[in-house]
Amino acid sequence: MKHKYAVFILILLGLFFYSLTLKGILGNPKPGDFKGSLDQVTKPLELSPERGRFANVLALADFHTYDLGQELADAVYPDVGVEEGKFYSLFAPGVSYFILPFYLLGEQFNVSLIGSFGFVSIISIFNLLLLFFISRKVFNLPVWASLVPPMVFGFGCTSWSYAVTLYQHQFTVFFMLSSFYAAWKFKNMRRDGEGIKHFPHKFPRPSALSFAPLRIIFRIFPYICAVWVWLAYGLAITADYPNAVLLLPVVLYFVISSLSVLKEKDKIIFALRPAAVFSVIVLVAVGGWNAYHNQKNYGSWKRLSGELVDYSTVLQQGGLGQSNSQQVINKLGEQKGLQTFFQETNLPFSFYTLTVSPDRGLFVYAPIFLLAALGIFFARKSFSGEMAVLLALVAADVLLYSSWGDPWGGWAFGPRYLIPSMAVLSLFIGVFLAQAKNFAWSRILAFILFAYSSGIALLGAVTTNAVPPKIEASSLHSHYNFLFNWDFLLKNKSGSLLYNTFFANRMDLKEYYLVIYAALLAIILIVLFVLPRSERQQNSVKLKDQNVK
Amino acid sequence: MLSLTITHQSIDKWKRRFNALPPERLVLVLAVVLSVAATAYSFMHGYITAYGDAESHLNIAKRVIDSLTPGFAQLGGIWLPLPHLLLIPFVASDFLWRSGLAGSIVSGAAYAVSSLFLYKLTHLVTKSRAASFVAAAVFMANPNMLYMQATPMTELTLIVFFIISSYFFIKFLEDDSDILSLVLAAFFGFCAALSRYDGWSLVLMEAGVLGLLYFPWKRFPARIAKLRENFDLQRYKKMEGRMVLFSTLAFFGIALWLLWGYLILGDPLYFTHSIFSAKSQQQNWLVRGELPAYKNLLMAFLYYLVTGMSNVGVFWFLLSLAGFALFFFNRESKHRFYLLLILLVPFIFNVATLYSGQSVIFIPHLTPVNFEWRLFNVRYGIMMVPFAAFCVAYLFYKSRAAGKALVLALFAAQLALFGTGYSKVITLEDGTAGLSSAVAKIPDAQYWIDRNYDSGLVLVDDYARTMSIIRTRIPMKDVIYVGNKPYWEVSLKEPEKYAAWIIMQKNDAVWTSIYEDPVVQGRLFKYFQKVYTSPDILIFKRNPDVTAG
């Protein structure tokens, strides 16, 4: 299969499956629609993360302010903070700003919610493409094996549930993968006239290009890549503050890649590519905007949204009506610092919860990732710096969120904090399949694990993300993991816009689920068993042609 | 291009300078500087005697030379005597005794010598100065180690003998004709065995390794009938000779201690089952259902693993695991299994004691939130620092340039984690706020007696830690405690006979013998007047108007 067809097919698959499961309603919701309606289970604003971010977009678009106001604050409760009598969402502001143009566009067509959520799906499709490109270009996998990582990440794990609603995770993955890819491109780009002879080149020398505009593009391309690395890093932080740590491996990789050591007869030259240095201004600009935003809204340039005093705590202390309410808020604010968010003491339990617990465990929800371990093992002999960076991203993600006091991510479907790790690990599943010696058995194993993992992923995508942690579920006398979603499937309760709007009268949810599931399994069967054969045949034909020539 | 040029000439100059540095002296100087700085910091913040046990160790040593009944019998039969014997010259000074600096001198010296011998031990295995320096650096820079070396606790005394004994033992393994090294290993093993009970397992393990080293069969005989086949008499003779040589000295400390228990306390195993033994103390936790590792091997393993991790630091611990794996699978190193067995002695010992209920650790990472205490005895994990330091150094030694840079980066990152409070200095936390702490629960009565004590003997149950003696103005020779025969026994029946002051805490030995016995209580109120009352502590002062009949 040709590279461009694969890209086209991935876009189609993304559009098809994400459309079928996209959450939302028709119309432009107003603040009054939140409480008791859109905030119910299986409804588009069922949980506070999407509710808080959507409320921010709504306030920005309709009221031209970042302050939520009393009505929206009550709707978004409990993830609301208070500062100077104003209410703010406790989430980082970036996602709301990214969504804003798509909200406004959707509003024009009376589908503001779909416009907002749809943009997340578009970003998710970009993530599928990035995984494909990284597999192809960085790992040099064949086309069929390069299709596996996007399939696993897109439809074989719980990231699916967060590609059809308003969460920060797909943005994080987008910034992580795109900055990594840009840094890799930057590293492998040769620039004429700089005397950096030792940079490996996969690109033609700009001077060798006869077409002038192409020459210019090739000359500025390193700057574009460098700018994107810093910009993606800055934007990722505005989307979710812990990304400052999560994306550090990519930043380090980029900085190290821009360094070169030239050993000459009598001296050693350490050189730094100027594009890497000058482009850092973009990060400074994004940081400056963030500081301005914090100063304007939270009272201090270095105060983050998460550090605001919880509205719920203020209410417990007697509310805002009291004369000393600001003093109470100030005192509570002093107790809530950044250092309280991540603690080493959380490590064992949170690590267990995120990886193997029946509650939220990655390998319980998506055992296909067990193959990633084999992929890493297979890759050990051809282990590259890029693989090390990608594994460092997984390590950073796992360590970071294993230090988090709420590894469940509140009411959520699967280990949502590990979505960036899922993206990276899926790449190693591709490596495993490409390098496995027992070709048939490895693919059969991959198919079985994919069937299980995607079955669960789809279950979450068509029903709800509002799954209680075990500790809460036991007091509610309900199931606590994907069995909770199974109950919803049986009760015909779906969050899918298309199902609820067009198919609910024609088929029950189980049938809808089975149709999508069957399509998905058919596609993975083709990817695993048909494409490798045809690719091999094409390659042998090419080889014959070359021999004949 | 931004570049920096360094000539080979200047590199050679720096190389020559580095090679000219005497590395062992450098390690020693660094260790002394760090030790003095950490001790000064602890002294200024009042942390030196924060642990309840810290004062007990100081008091035991003090009583040998300065008490109502001075003599070596004051060493008691529970804690091993060597750390107290080492304290004796320093506690002679009241200032060093009361401030705890007497202990800082002993532990600080042990810390410096440990750093030096850890350097030598790593050099023995790797022959690399840089890697050996990394081992010493990981050990020296560990904040838990820096804190503990400032205290009179016995951990550093054990660590120094543990490291020196291991060093000479490994030296012997490298060249088994070096009998002097075996003798020195036995001598320092003897010292370790008289420092803490962990030392007993060290000498046992070393003896076991000797047995394995000279195992007289080339293959383990499958049947008893085949015992004579393949038996190597020469190896057996060698084993016999070296085993006798080693064991005579190494186990002499244990034999001495058993003899001491028999002669002084009438029971050679007094330390295992007296009311003051650790096991008796653990019974209280067992009754309350708060001994999670008891008869649960997995929990015992996890508890000590996490405690070790917390003492070492997360990043350093992860690095050490990687180094451990690398060393374990490196076939070039002939005696790697023996070396690892010896370095892992503290791990094996602590897991075994947790499992058998001989000791208890509460660590917030694992201890359930409904337990009364969640921080206790975490300092046991500090014994894993030498092992971790060696393994990190080995990883550094085996890594290429990028790997070395990563090890150093993570070394710095861990220091940052300690600095930001993400990783707490858990031994200090336990000393200041955990169950091990004396300063977390200083009773008001202590301040009262400090202000009002004038002169005369004070009857107090020191074991119950009713109050701190070093923090009051009471001279040690004016204290009547359980070790002062016959003063103690007589005073519990006739309190007026010796004591001018009686301090009792609810349910301690003084309370139960005097306050709860109606006859003795009568004498108490006849000869003493109550001068201080609190819900838990009562203080009586001898009534000068009533003379004993």
**Residue B408 sits in the same domain as residue B467:** no
Q: Please give the C-alpha separations between residue B541 and each of A154, B453, B503, B513, B545, in angstroms, as whole numbers.
A: 80, 9, 9, 17, 12
Among A277, A348, A399, the residue with its CB nearest the CB of B2 is A277
**Residue A279 sits in the same domain as residue A314:** no
**Residue B368 sits in the same domain as residue B408:** yes
**Residue B472 sits in the same domain as residue B410:** no
Q: Which two tokens stand for residue B527?
A: 């000869």
Contact flag B422-A339 (C-beta cutoff 8 Å): yes
Judge residue A256's burial from the number of C-beta atoms within 10 Å of its C-beta, 0-12 exposed, 13-18 middle, 19 or more buried: middle
**CB < 8 Å to A195, chain B:** 1
Q: How many CB atoms lie within 10 A of CB A61?
A: 18
- Encode pLDDT of B224-263 as tens digits: 777 777 788 888 898 999 999 999 999 999 999 999 999 9
3-state secondary structure of A205: coil
A345 touches chain B (CB under 8 A): yes
Among all chains, which residue has been given the structure tokens 């690990």? A425
**Residue B496 sits in the same domain as residue B410:** no
Domain assignment present for A6: no
**Residue B414 sits in the same domain as residue B400:** yes
Query: Distance between CA atoms of B116 and B133, rounded to whole angstroms?
Result: 9
Domain assignment present for A187: yes
Last residue of a domain, one of B415, B440, B465: B440
Question: Residues 384 to 403 of A: which have CB under 8 A from any B CB?
Answer: 385, 388, 399, 403
Q: Which two tokens stand for residue A112?
A: 């503001």
Q: Which two tokens stand for residue A410?
A: 């509140």
pLDDT at position B478 over 80: yes
**CB < 8 Å to B402, chain A:** 385, 388
Among A269, A346, A385, the residue with its CB nearest the CB of B3 is A269
**Residue B516 sits in the same domain as residue B388:** no
Q: Which two tokens stand for residue B445?
A: 């009565």
A348 touches chain B (CB under 8 A): yes
Q: Which two tokens stand for residue A171?
A: 């943005």
**CB < 8 Å to A274, chain B:** 1-2
Q: Which two tokens stand for residue A39?
A: 């905030």
Query: Distance between CA atoms of A14 and A461, rounded to whole angstroms?
Result: 13
Q: Which residue of A has its CA nearest to B402?
A: A385
Last residue of a domain, one of B421, B440, B459: B440
Closest CA–CA distance from residue B432 to any residue of chain A (Å): 17
Q: Residues for chain A: how many in total?
A: 549
Residue with the bigger pLDDT between A488 and B401: it is: A488
B420 touches chain A (CB under 8 A): yes
**Residue A316 sits in the same domain as residue A273:** no
Phi, psi of A442 (to 5 degrees): -65, -40
Q: Which residue of B has its CA nearest to A392?
A: B406
- Encode pLDDT of B54-102 as tens digits: 999 999 999 999 999 999 999 998 999 999 999 999 999 999 999 999 9
Domain assignment present for A230: yes
Contact flag B11-A268 (C-beta cutoff 8 Å): yes
Last residue of a domain, one of B385, B407, B440: B440
Query: Distance between CA atoms of B165 and B158, rounded to whole angstroms?
Result: 10
Domain assignment present for A547: no
- Which string of DSSP letters, residue by residue, matches B440-496? GG--HHHHHHHHH--SSEEEE-TTTT-S-STTSS--GGGEE-TTSTTHHHHHHH-TT
**Residue B354 sits in the same domain as residue B423:** yes
Phi, psi of A422 (to 5 degrees): -60, -40
**Residue B465 sits in the same domain as residue B483:** yes
Q: Do residues A92 and A243 touch, judged by C-beta distance below 8 A?
A: no
> Which pLDDT value is given to residue A130?
98
Domain assignment present for B176: no
- Which string of DSSP letters, residue by residue, matches B370-386? TSS-S-BSGGGGGGGHH
- Cis peptide leading into residue B443 (ω within 30°): no
Contact flag A270-B4 (C-beta cutoff 8 Å): yes
A548 touches chain B (CB under 8 A): no
Q: How many domains does chain A have?
A: 2
Closest CA–CA distance from residue B4 to any residue of chain A (Å): 5
**Residue B430 sits in the same domain as residue B447:** no
Among B2, B5, B306, the residue with its CB nearest the CB of A272 is B2
Closest CA–CA distance from residue A449 to any residue of chain B (Å): 29
**Sign (positive or negative) of CA dihedral B421, B427, B428, B429:** positive
3-state secondary structure of B503: strand
**Residue A279 sits in the same domain as residue A329:** no
Query: Distance between CA atoms of A471 and B369, rounded to whole angstroms?
Result: 14
Judge residue B450's burial from the number of C-beta atoms within 10 Å of its C-beta, 0-12 exposed, 13-18 middle, 19 or more buried: middle
- Cis peptide leading into residue A249 (ω within 30°): no
Domain assignment present for B299: yes
**CB < 8 Å to B3, chain A:** 269-272
**Residue A264 sits in the same domain as residue A332:** no
Domain assignment present for A234: yes
Helix A143-155 / helix A531-548 crossing angle, nearest 10 deg: 160
Query: Distance between CA atoms of A249 and A513, rounded to whole angstroms?
Result: 39
Closest CA–CA distance from residue A27 to any residue of chain B (Å): 46
Chain B interface mutation, best of A198, A342, A344, A387, highest count of B Cβ atoms under 10 Å: A344
Among all chains, which residue has been given the structure tokens 């698959």? A13
3-state helix/strand/coil string of B212-226: HHCCCECCCCCCHHH
Domain assignment present for B34: no
**Residue A329 sits in the same domain as residue A256:** no
Domain assignment present for B374: yes
**Residue A317 sits in the same domain as residue A248:** no
Domain assignment present for B7: no
Domain assignment present for A35: yes
> Which pLDDT value is given to residue A333?
57
Query: Distance between CA atoms of A57 and A66, rounded to whole angstroms?
Result: 8
CA proximity to A19, closest of A385, A532, A470, A461? A461
**Residue A270 sits in the same domain as residue A315:** no
Domain assignment present for A332: yes
Q: What is the pLDDT along chain A (549 residues), one digit of tens a residue?
A: 678 899 999 999 999 999 999 999 999 999 889 888 889 989 999 998 999 999 999 999 999 999 998 889 888 888 888 888 899 999 999 999 999 999 999 999 999 999 999 999 999 999 999 999 999 999 999 999 999 999 999 999 999 999 999 999 999 999 999 999 999 999 987 544 443 443 444 455 556 666 677 667 767 888 899 999 999 999 999 999 999 999 999 999 999 888 888 888 888 888 888 888 889 999 999 999 999 999 999 989 989 988 888 888 877 776 655 556 666 656 655 555 555 678 999 999 999 999 999 999 999 999 999 999 999 999 988 888 899 999 999 999 999 999 998 999 999 999 999 999 999 999 999 999 999 988 889 999 999 999 999 999 999 999 999 999 998 998 888 998 999 999 999 999 999 999 999 999 999 999 999 999 999 999 999 999 999 988 878 777 777 777 776
CA proximity to A121, closest of A519, A452, A497? A497
Among A196, A273, A345, the residue with its CB nearest the CB of B364 is A345
Q: How many domains does chain B have?
A: 2
**Residue A181 sits in the same domain as residue A229:** yes
Question: Residues 326 to 385 of B: which have CB under 8 A from any A CB?
Answer: 364-366
**Residue B459 sits in the same domain as residue B408:** no
Among B6, B11, B424, the residue with its CB nearest the CB of A344 is B424
**Residue B343 sits in the same domain as residue B383:** yes
ipTM entry = 0.85
**Residue A262 sits in the same domain as residue A331:** no
Domain assignment present for A184: yes
- Which string of DSSP letters, residue by residue, matches A62-123? IIS-S--HHHHHHHHTTSEEEETTEEEESS-SHHHHHHHHHHHHHHHTT-HHHHHHHHHHHH
**Residue B394 sits in the same domain as residue B377:** yes
> Which pLDDT value is given to residue B200?
97
Q: Please give the C-alpha separations between residue B148 and each of B112, B320, B382, B465, in angstroms, as whole numbers.
A: 13, 21, 9, 21
Among B365, B420, B421, the residue with its CB nearest the CB of A347 is B365
Domain assignment present for B112: no
- Structural domain span for residue B358: 275-440
CA proximity to A456, closest of A402, A374, A507, A520? A520
- Structural domain span for residue A41: 28-110+308-341
Judge residue A213's burial from the number of C-beta atoms within 10 Å of its C-beta, 0-12 exposed, 13-18 middle, 19 or more buried: exposed
Contact flag A271-B2 (C-beta cutoff 8 Å): yes
Contact flag B306-A267 (C-beta cutoff 8 Å): no
Contact flag B365-A344 (C-beta cutoff 8 Å): yes
Domain assignment present for B517: yes
Among A273, A343, A348, the residue with its CB nearest the CB of B366 is A348
Among B4, B8, B314, the residue with its CB nearest the CB of A347 is B314
A334 touches chain B (CB under 8 A): no
Domain assignment present for B428: yes
How large is the average pLDDT for residues B40-47? 97
Question: Residues 472 to 501 of B: which have CB under 8 A from any A CB?
Answer: none
Chain A to chain B Cβ contacts (< 8 Å):
65
Q: Taking the CA atoms of chain B, what radius of gyration do you get in angstroms?
A: 26
Strands B499-505 and B537-542: antiparallel
Contact flag B2-A403 (C-beta cutoff 8 Å): no
**Residue A182 sits in the same domain as residue A278:** yes
> Which pLDDT value is given to residue A428?
97
